[in-house]
Each structure stands twice: as C-alpha cells, then as structure tokens.
Amino acid sequence: MPARVVGEIQSFADLSILPGESAPERVLENCNGFDALICTLMNKVTADFIDRLPPSIRLVATYSVGIDHIDLRALQARRIALVNTPDVLTEATADIAWLLLLGAARRASEAEALLRSGMWTGWEPNQLVGTDIHGSTLGILGFGRIGRAVARRAAGFGMNILTSVRSSSAGDPPPPGTIICSSMEEVLAGSDFLSLHLPLTEETQNWLNAERIASMKSGAIVINTARGGLIDETALIAALQSGKLGGAGLDVFVGEPDIRRDLVEAPNTFLLPHLGSATRRAREGMGLSLARDIAAFFAGRPVENGVGVSK
Ligand code: GLV
Ligand code: GLV
C-alpha cells in the first residue's frame, strides 16, 4: 500500500501486511484475532474462505471499486460488513478508457513497435492509417460514475454519445447531446466505439458474446476498463481475426494475470495490464478512503462506502 495509507491506518490500528499474492491459507493462518481484513481484487474472497475467517473479523475492506471477487451473500450470512473505494478512481479510470480508445483507433501499439524496431522508413500516406474518432459514435454501457466521466470527455472529442438507462446510478446528468437508447442492444447496433462500464455479475458475465458482436457495426472498436468477464474472449478474438471488429482496447482480462496468447496475438489491439486506477492520487485516495471507513466502522459511525448498505 502507498506509504501514506500505511501511516494513516497505523495511526489508529495495528496493521499486518501480507504479500498481495498470499494463498488464502496463509491469510487465514494470520488473521486470528484481527478485526478487519483489507483485500485487493487479486484476492478471491470466496464463500469457503469467508466461512473459515475467524469470528473476530467484522469488516472486509476491498482496495477496489469492483466487488466481483467477493461472495457478498456469504459475507452477509456471516454479518461481515464490506466497504469499497468508488469515486476516488472515477476520473483516472475514465482517462484510461480514453487512452485505450485513442490507442486502439490510431494503432498506437503497432506504431510504437514499428518505431522501436528501427524499421520505420518515414512518413507515407498509407502508413498505419487508423479510425477517425471525431464525428463517430461512442456507445457507453453502464452509465454510472465512470461511464459518465467517459461521456464528458467524449464531448471534447466531438463524438456522439449513446447510452442506455440500465445501471445508471445517481450522479451528474448525461452531457448535452447524449442519446438515451431504450436497450443495451440498441447502443450496440449504433456504436462505432463501445466502452464497457458495467459491474461483473452473474447477469453480465460474457455479456458481449458472439451474437451481440454480430449485431455491432462492422469495424467497430470495443473498449473495456471494467472486468474481463464481461466479454466472451473467444468471440472477441474471432471477431478481431475476421475483421468484424476493427479493434479492441482492453485494460482487463479473464483470468488475470494469465492472458490468452491468442488474444495477445489478435490484430488491432491495444492492451494494458489493469491500470485504470493506477495514478498516485487515485491509489492513495483508495487507501485513504478505506482507512476513513475502517476507522468510522469501529468507532460506530456510518461508513461512506458500505456495499449493500444504503447511505
Ligand atoms: C479496479 O479494477 C477496481 O475495481 O478498483
Ligand atoms: C503532417 O505532419 C502534415 O504536415 O500533414
């Protein structure tokens, strides 16, 4: 954790830090008598793991906004509370969605590889020609905090914005000119770029499947900063290989960090290793937000970011 976060938590609690990749067994052996557990999205907090937590644990604090790595029902059954870190990472993650959009549209990976290889022969009219961003249509699925922040940036790039009302949380109104479609399918069919901002749940698992990809515009570009599991990667790879999709910009993958070789080798991709919230301010903000909520919880005050608890 960032040093400032460690210092903050140590100002009110005894803190024991295990390496992030610690096996569940090692965590269970080491949390006897502890009141709270901080995890990251790399730690699978399964029902079995939760059942075996010592009774002293009353709070799980996840260093993430996503909670798909946590069995919420099992936590609730044990009456263990959960806090996460929304808001502080919204803008940083929206920026990464734009990096992916720009990078995939303008073939940044391929171009940089050419330059670094020493094989660049100089400016040519047909060299590494990409997709226009201005004047094209960006579909945003999941119009919560991050989806809206992506939409705000789209106005500056001269794009049209489509979204559907599904999963829109309270927040800023959509930017002027946003077209609200009546279904996610309608967004799919109308988008030149599609950016995913849905939570991963049983309902959204493999949401972007072969059938839905088939309904997209030919040459469309898919952007994902949410969770890899939203996309059926086999269908995505086939669509990139056939040219049905014009490209993909991905920050998240199924089975991270073991990424499918055929995805890495698929054409027209711009791939990043789950960096959405990786700025100094966001990562520190996430930790400080957890620290505040842990302190509040044990002082008997309301937490800011309780999951499954209304504010
Ligand atoms: C990152 O993916 C997060 O959920 O914070
Ligand atoms: C490109 O550098 C141009 O001058 O068109």
Tens digits of residue pLDDT in 105-157: 999 999 999 999 999 999 999 999 999 999 999 999 999 999 999 999 999 99
Give me the residues paired with residue 180 across strands: 163
Q: What is the pLDDT of residue 20?
A: 74
Is the pLDDT confidence value at 158 over 50?
Answer: yes
**Nearest ligand, measured from the Cα of 89:** 1
Q: What is the pLDDT of residue 33?
A: 95
**Domain check: are 65 and 35 in the same one?**
yes
Is the pLDDT confidence value at 275 over 80?
Answer: yes
Q: Is 65 in the pocket of ligand 1 (CB under 6 A)?
A: yes
Scanning the structure block, which residue is given the tokens 């907090």?
Answer: 45
Ligand 1 atom closest to residue 252's alpha carbon, by position in its atom list: 2
Of 63, 79, 91, give the one whose Cα is nearest residue 293: 63
Contacts of 49 (CB under 8 A, 6+ apart): 24, 27, 28
d(CA 62, CA 82): 8
**Whether 47 contacts 63, CB under 8 Å:** no
**Burial class of 28 by CB neighbour count within 10 A (0 to 12, 13 to 18, 19+):** middle
C-alpha 68 to ligand 1 mean position (Å): 10
What ipTM was assigned to the predicted interfaces of this complex?
Answer: 0.88
Q: What is the pLDDT of residue 171?
A: 62
**Domain check: are 157 and 223 in the same one?**
yes
**Burial class of 258 by CB neighbour count within 10 A (0 to 12, 13 to 18, 19+):** exposed
Average the pLDDT over 182-186 and give the result. 94
Q: Count of CB atoms within 10 A of residue 43's CB?
A: 23
Average the pLDDT over 65-93 and give the result. 97
The structural domain count of the chain equals 2
The band of 22, judged by pLDDT with boundaries at 50, 70 and 90, is: confident
**Domain check: are 10 and 96 in the same one?**
no
**Domain check: are 198 and 185 in the same one?**
yes
- Residue 22, classed as helix, strand or coil, is coil
Give me the residues paired with residue 308 across strands: none
Pocket test for ligand 1, best of 42, 70, 93 (most atoms within 8 A of CB): 93
Structural domain containing residue 15: 3-88+278-307
Q: Annotated catalytic, 148?
A: no
Residues in the chain: 311
Q: Annotated catalytic, 26?
A: no
**Domain check: are 215 and 297 in the same one?**
no
Average the pLDDT over 212-232 and give the result. 98
d(CA 70, CA 49): 10
d(CA 157, CA 190): 18
The percent of residues above 70 in pLDDT, for the chain, comes to 97
d(CA 176, CA 147): 15
Query: Buried b vs exposed e over 211-222: b needs ≥16 C-beta within 10 Å?
Result: ebbeebbeebbb
Q: Count of CB atoms within 10 A of residue 164's CB?
A: 21
Scanning the structure block, which residue is given the tokens 């479609």?
Answer: 181
**Domain check: are 159 and 252 in the same one?**
yes
The band of 172, judged by pLDDT with boundaries at 50, 70 and 90, is: low
Is the pLDDT confidence value at 233 over 70?
Answer: yes
**Domain check: are 168 and 224 in the same one?**
yes
**Domain check: are 193 and 164 in the same one?**
yes
**Domain check: are 43 and 69 in the same one?**
yes
**Domain check: are 113 and 259 in the same one?**
yes
Task: Provide the CATH number for the domain around residue 178.
Answer: 3.40.50.720
**Atom 1 of ligand 1, nearest CA residue:** 64
Q: Which range (16-30, 35-49, 158-172, 212-226) has the least confidence?
A: 158-172
**Domain check: are 265 and 295 in the same one?**
no
**Domain check: are 47 and 19 in the same one?**
yes
Q: What is the mean pLDDT of the chain?
A: 95
